[in-house]
Structure 1
Amino acid sequence: MPQLFFSSSDQEAKRLSALCRKGQLRRIRQGVYTDGPPESDGSLINSRWHEVVAYLYPDAIAAYRTAYELKPVDGFVVIVARVKKPAVIKIGWYLRISVQPGDPSIGHQQFLPELSRSNVPRFLLENLTPSRNTAAFVKSFGAGWVEEYLAKELQKRGETELNSIRDQARELSYSLGLESQFTQLDKIIGALLSSRPVDSLTNQLAIATAKHEPYDTVRLQRFEELAEYLSRFSFPHCDYQFSRSSWRNLSFFESYFSNFIEGTEFLIEEAEEIVFKKQTVNQRHQDSHDVLALYELTYDYQEMITTPQTPDELLSLLQMRHQLMMAERPDKRPGQFKEKNNQAGDTLFVEPQLLEGTLTQAFEYYLALPKGLSRAIYMQFMISECHPFDDGNGRLSRLMMNAELTEANSYKIIVPTVHRDSYLNGLRQATREGKFRTLCKVFYQLQCYAASVNWQNYGEALEKIEDDYCLKLPDDGVAVFNRKISAFKIELPVR
């Protein structure tokens, strides 16, 4: 692996120069050598930039935006050193060191053995400094970035942290000559803590936080990406013609499979007794109610053509439907948004204090999508990602999805047990990698499959579902079922 070598003394300089003459080393700049080939210089210098800085300016600190990024960006890093005027030092063709005059001895913290950086109060002040650099590189992030950084700190660590940052920045500002930057920082923190006007803020997250409507920026980015993906193509309309018997039978299987996926498992015959005879099966009162309550919601046509027109309507619909669905599980706090965060595997969902703000912000992307399957997929993913309640979120997300389809006169989607893993894999890819193709393909094919079943006759519908291995576990029936749905083809973008 290529290495860097520095001439730290006259004797070492002579030794390295001699090796260079023998062809064993190459000089990158005065005092800096490497034993690697020229093509390795870029990655080597960028990965070891901190050693180069420490060699050239032993008392310097990484500052301004570099104090946060801790790496070269567009080939630049910014440092503060005891120099009289700013300078840009070139290291080969790959690194530019923007050297800013200042006192590196105060307001710093160690981040590597050979280099310190500006601490948080200092780098916030620095990043409020107007940047006069060329368009190639801007040394400071500016006020909008500082606002967002502080809004996130408030969400994670509370008011005490912001007050501590302000107190430390006040003291540093006098020594660093950054009094005007502190005045601006004080206004930002005051606005976030509701002691100053909100209209001084410019960043969207900071404004929402100051208005007590904070949101999850990472999740909102994912929702924006899904909305953009869905806007790049159109799903064929899958028309549904209502009849009482087909609606009843489709709603039954919708409820049955949606509960089965979540672990509320009954035989089909047991589910028939629960739904059609209103009987509790095997003394499983709560489980039986889960199946019946979800069926009653999915069977209520008026309920299923009701979709939200505003963020407030969305929140109310979620709470009302969850309350009806989980009525017999008081320990799950029916209709009440979660107070503690929840997770599935290693995936943490939206924090409780960010829930309503995230749903409110995400709703704008929902409204911009066409009605039908596009909106339905977005709605399902949005609810699944936010996980608004202590329990029942998967069932609720699919219920909200199917309400979107019903309102658009389109076939509802059933997620058979056999296809559970494909469905969950689509969700995982969307959540972790921002890849939406699998999820969209799964839902499209499942809607087409639902449309291929004769729901008018319960016996025929059940026979087809059994023949297609819908009731099997994925390991036992996925090959057969995939052959059935492979006929439903659609061209989708890769991401």
Structure 2
Amino acid sequence: MNAPIQAKTSSRDPVTSQPDLYVAAQLSPGERKRIERLAKGGEVARVYKGLYVKADGGEAEVERRVRANWAAVGGVVVPGGVVSHSSALHGGPSAGTLVISHPTLTRRSVKLPGLTLEIRNGSGNLAGDMVLSQSGLHFAGRTRALLENLGRKTSIKAGQEEVELRLITTLNSSGEKALNSIRDEAASLAHSLGLQEEGETLRHLIGALLGTHQRGELKTREGMQVAMGKPVDKERIERFNELADYLRGAHLPRIEDAIPRGTARHNAAFIESYFSNYVEGTKFAIEDARDIVVNQRIVENRPKDSHDILGVFRLALEAPYRHSPPVAGEDFLPGLEQWHSEMLRMRPEAHPGVIKGQANFAGTTQFVSPSHVRGTLEEGSRIALSVAEGFARAVFYAFLISEVHPFDDGNGRLSRLVMNAELSRVGLHRIIIPTLFHPQYIDCVRKLTRDSEPVDFVRCLAKMARWCAQFDYGNLDILIELLKKTNALEESPVQYMLLNLDGGHELTA
């Protein structure tokens, strides 16, 4: 049996070392004859003049190999060409089609197994284009690709809307300087490409995104939001939609609020404030915290921490904060700013009522960037209105504020307050996250943030809704003793388990 043919290895042309692909022009005369014999025997397939691929695995495998080696294939069929139009914007073939421009070839389609080459007469290598390995092709640079894809979407053009989205991504990741650079490059490239009209369109799009031109040039909602100073975090909006989709179809609890007005409601608001602050690091013995709220006794060496307890307590108890979430849409962030200002009014270092000035993190997770807070909260709060009021919308609000993290401090407390305001608005029991359960709650938030998995997040809040509804809030002394009995005040989930009042394990959703 003849030894298997291997394309000649060359440091000058690495394409020839591909194990699946054989280019006859790059082989010795003896190797070419052997390839032709193997083609007759069906061991390799001739897919184009002078171009062969291994044939083991059948037609589907031949097609896969052609697609996988699209750059080398394009270099053989259209030597000296430039990967252009939608293929340049998408990083290669899209839907099995590779667009290549060439300065001397006429328009035609070349259909190969698994890949169609759309050849267009157009400019060859220009400034900004990149050498595509050593395939014999170039790859259109960013600005050229944007120009070539403007206009109505066609079989080879991505269209203006996708160009806008790419410009927005560039602005978000690299800033205004990058868009100005694209605009400057386009001024010279447009003439070389014969795309002067597209050059003007690109200039106006960039101007609109940067606020120096009329917004009427823009076609996408995302672009209009950027132009209005309200860019959105697209990844977060997708995650919010996934959570909303789940909430619309999930079976959710409806636990009525049976806590009467007066002392019991005051006691419940105190317990809510105590736990919400404790898990965020404002730690007092529950008896000391009680003294702060009941007797208005500010701890002398911790005045700001004392006011943190009082701030959350007021918002959990008093109108309108207790039962009126901020209005969705463009008024949502101003509403949150007012809540935040009231909650942390004694902490000027936390910039009460002011959006964060720098990106904030939880471990390796970066929350929404400051420039995208306004637009993301506006859009996210509108999505909230698409889910049922009550428990579903409350859960959504909790994640929305936690995921955006709009302020330097107090985001966790604020997220739970707005969640509970929605519950109180429709007469449902407010949810308290006790100290022992907080690590599990955060794990569920993290799972939704990182894996877009909402089930556990919703379930854990349903558990806590049922757990909170067990207690009689009428007598604070008895209530505190019962909370201790359930291990709610403990910090280690390794040593303790959250119990029901009857001593059983925590409730299921």
TM-score with structure 2 length normalisation? 0.87
Structure 1 runs (4+) deviating above 6 angstroms are: none
Secondary structure of residue in 2 paired with 1:80: strand
Structure 2 match to 1:49: 70
Secondary structure of residue in 1 paired with 2:95: coil
Secondary structure of residue in 1 paired with 2:130: strand
Tell me by how many angstroms 1:130 deviates. Answer: 4.1
Structure 1: which amino acid aligns with 2:106? K
Residue 154, structure 1, aligned to residue 176, structure 2: no
Judged with a 3 Å threshold, the aligned counterparts in structure 2 of structure 1 residues 455 and 185 are, in CA distance, closer, same or farther, namely same
Tell me by how many angstroms 1:282 deviates. Answer: 7.7
Distance 2:127 2:354 in 1: 45
Distance 1:292 1:76 in 2: 64
Distance 1:105 1:111 in 2: 9
Judged with a 3 Å threshold, the aligned counterparts in structure 2 of structure 1 residues 342 and 67 are, in CA distance, closer, same or farther, namely same
Distance 2:402 2:483 in 1: 26
Distance 2:325 2:408 in 1: 23
Q: Percent identity?
A: 31
Residue 387, structure 1, aligned to residue 409, structure 2: no
Structure 1 match to 2:146: 124
CA contact (8 A) 2:153 2:160 kept: no
Secondary structure of residue in 1 paired with 2:385: helix
Structure 2 match to 1:492: none
Structure 2 match to 1:272: 290
Structure 1 match to 2:130: 110
Tell me by how many angstroms 1:121 deviates. Answer: 1.4
CA contact (8 A) 2:467 2:506 kept: no
Structure 1 match to 2:248: 231
Distance 2:46 2:499 in 1: 65
Judged with a 3 Å threshold, the aligned counterparts in structure 2 of structure 1 residues 442 and 318 are, in CA distance, closer, same or farther, namely same
Judged with a 3 Å threshold, the aligned counterparts in structure 2 of structure 1 residues 478 and 81 are, in CA distance, closer, same or farther, namely farther
Tell me by how many angstroms 1:403 deviates. Answer: 0.9
Judged with a 3 Å threshold, the aligned counterparts in structure 2 of structure 1 residues 142 and 462 are, in CA distance, closer, same or farther, namely same
Structure 1: which amino acid aligns with 2:147? L
Tell me by how many angstroms 1:373 deviates. Answer: 1.0
Q: Which runs of 5 or more structure 2 residues have no equivalent in the other structure? A: 1-17
TM-score with structure 1 length normalisation? 0.89
Equivalent residue in structure 1 for 2:223, among 206, 210, 219: 206
Judged with a 3 Å threshold, the aligned counterparts in structure 2 of structure 1 residues 453 and 46 are, in CA distance, closer, same or farther, namely farther
Structure 2 match to 1:81: 102
Secondary structure of residue in 2 paired with 1:419: helix
Equivalent residue in structure 2 for 1:193, among 210, 214, 221: 210
Structure 1 match to 2:14: none
Tell me by how many angstroms 1:59 deviates. Answer: 1.8
Distance 1:407 1:141 in 2: 47
Which shows bigger deviation, 415-424 or 55-64?
A: 55-64
Tell me by how many angstroms 1:479 deviates. Answer: 7.0
Judged with a 3 Å threshold, the aligned counterparts in structure 2 of structure 1 residues 479 and 101 are, in CA distance, closer, same or farther, namely farther
Deviation per residue, 1:191-243 (Å, 9 max, x gap): 22334322232111111222222222222222222222222235232111333
Tell me by how many angstroms 1:29 deviates. Answer: 4.4
Structure 2: which amino acid aligns with 1:121? T
Equivalenced residues, count: 483
Equivalent residue in structure 2 for 1:167, among 184, 197, 219: 184
Distance 1:478 1:47 in 2: 54
Judged with a 3 Å threshold, the aligned counterparts in structure 2 of structure 1 residues 416 and 479 are, in CA distance, closer, same or farther, namely closer
Q: Higher helix share goes to which structure?
A: 1
CA contact (8 A) 2:102 2:120 kept: yes
Judged with a 3 Å threshold, the aligned counterparts in structure 2 of structure 1 residues 139 and 484 are, in CA distance, closer, same or farther, namely farther
Secondary structure of residue in 2 paired with 1:257: helix
1:14-53, aligned counterparts within 5 Å?
14-21=33-40, 25-30=44-49, 31-34=51-54, 36-38=56-58, 40-53=61-74
Q: Which runs of 5 or more structure 1 residues have no equivalent in the other structure? A: 133-137, 490-495
1:260-339, aligned counterparts within 5 Å?
260-281=278-299, 283-339=301-357
Residue 475, structure 1, aligned to residue 494, structure 2: yes
Q: CA RMSD in A?
A: 2.6
Structure 2 match to 1:258: 276
Judged with a 3 Å threshold, the aligned counterparts in structure 2 of structure 1 residues 123 and 98 are, in CA distance, closer, same or farther, namely same
Residue 444, structure 1, aligned to residue 444, structure 2: no
Tell me by how many angstroms 1:53 deviates. Answer: 1.8
CA contact (8 A) 1:469 1:481 kept: no
Judged with a 3 Å threshold, the aligned counterparts in structure 2 of structure 1 residues 293 and 57 are, in CA distance, closer, same or farther, namely same
Secondary structure of residue in 1 paired with 2:249: coil
CA contact (8 A) 2:45 2:62 kept: no
Judged with a 3 Å threshold, the aligned counterparts in structure 2 of structure 1 residues 299 and 48 are, in CA distance, closer, same or farther, namely same
Tell me by how many angstroms 1:280 deviates. Answer: 4.2
Structure 2 match to 1:493: none
Residue 216, structure 1, aligned to residue 233, structure 2: yes
Distance 2:499 2:52 in 1: 65
Structure 1 match to 2:6: none
Equivalent residue in structure 2 for 1:69, among 53, 77, 90: 90
Distance 2:493 2:453 in 1: 22
Tell me by how many angstroms 1:257 deviates. Answer: 1.6
Judged with a 3 Å threshold, the aligned counterparts in structure 2 of structure 1 residues 14 and 260 are, in CA distance, closer, same or farther, namely farther
Judged with a 3 Å threshold, the aligned counterparts in structure 2 of structure 1 residues 479 and 364 are, in CA distance, closer, same or farther, namely closer
Distance 2:291 2:273 in 1: 14
Judged with a 3 Å threshold, the aligned counterparts in structure 2 of structure 1 residues 13 and 260 are, in CA distance, closer, same or farther, namely farther
Distance 2:320 2:193 in 1: 66
Tell me by how many angstroms 1:383 deviates. Answer: 0.8
Secondary structure of residue in 2 paired with 1:231: helix
Which shows bigger deviation, 347-356 or 289-298?
A: 289-298
Secondary structure of residue in 2 paired with 1:406: helix
Tell me by how many angstroms 1:487 deviates. Answer: 4.4
Distance 2:408 2:441 in 1: 22
Which shows bigger deviation, 416-425 or 464-473?
A: 464-473
Secondary structure of residue in 1 paired with 2:117: strand
Structure 1 match to 2:15: none
CA contact (8 A) 1:188 1:200 kept: yes
Judged with a 3 Å threshold, the aligned counterparts in structure 2 of structure 1 residues 312 and 18 are, in CA distance, closer, same or farther, namely closer
Q: Over alpha carbons, which structure has the higher Rg?
A: 2
